[in-house]
A = this chain, B = another copy of it.
Amino acid sequence: MLTPERHQIILDLLKDRGVVKLHELVEATSSSESTIRRDLSQLENEKKLKRVHGGASLLAQKGEELSITEKAAKNLKEKDKIAQYAASLIRDGDCIYLDAGTTAFQMIPHIKAKEIKVVTNGLTHLEELLERGIDTYITGGYIKQKTRALIGKGALEGVKQYRFDKCFIGVNAIHTEYGFTTPDPEEAMVKLNAMNLSQETFVLGDRTKLNEVTFAKIADLKEGTIITDETDEEILAPYIEKTTIKVVTT
């Protein structure tokens, strides 16, 4: 049976019942547990469903066009390591800014700290945060359709209402000379503001982001601690000179 077929069966069954057990899917598709597990992981990353212990359930919010393509599923494991490490930096009682975007999103399941407050401009994060009973605030602003990030003046003013112990920022590109950059200037502004209002800044950038540049500058390297999975000493060297960097090993 082809992968897309199986995925369709899974989603259909899920839509029908709300929740499905793994074993039901094994039976319905006559594939092995392993295969179904892989399917579920993939579909979860595409935000088509939510895995739960023993099976899967519909997403609380009906994520329509929100699905992310294959490329998001690629560096998954590395990104998750980064997210996990980042989440471990959060301490009980911290006030956190959590940037919109998938990398920051992945931190949420790994957050162990209690009594924290989280401010975010990522609408996609809300369900996950609330499900964990985390006190959640959002910045307000204009809703950027493609990513469901909040941007614009409203978001800027929203961020300014708070002060953070730590902020976690996702970026598209990190470069020794050009610093942190991201394609959308409006988003860059929000990120910068959050950084300025935070005691500590952590920039989440997997190895594919290093030595890259995009359009809008967020800040210089020295403004944040980079968390990455790049291990090549040669590539890392110039960054180590200019800022602090934490390398997460798999």
**Interface set of A (CB-CB < 8 Å, partner B):** 2-5, 8, 18-19, 21, 45-47, 52-55, 57, 61-62, 64, 123, 126-127, 130-133, 135-143, 145, 150, 152-155, 157-158, 161-162
Contacts and interface: CB of A to CB of B under 8 A. Distances in A.
Quick one: which of A137, A139, A162 has the most chain B CB within 10 A? A137
Contacts of A152: 137
A127 B19 contact: no
A19 B145 CA distance: 23
A193 to B, nearest CB: 13
Given A2-B55, A137-B154, A140-B158, 10 more contacts: A2-B54, A3-B54, A4-B18, A4-B19, A123-B126, A136-B142, A137-B140, A138-B150, A140-B155, A154-B158
Instruction: Determine chain A's interface SS by DSSP, over half rule.
Output: mixed
Report copies per complex: 2
Contacts of A8: 18
Given A46-B130, A137-B154, A150-B138, A3 B52 contact: yes
B46 A131 contact: yes
A123 B137 CA distance: 12
Contacts of A154: 137-140, 158, 161-162
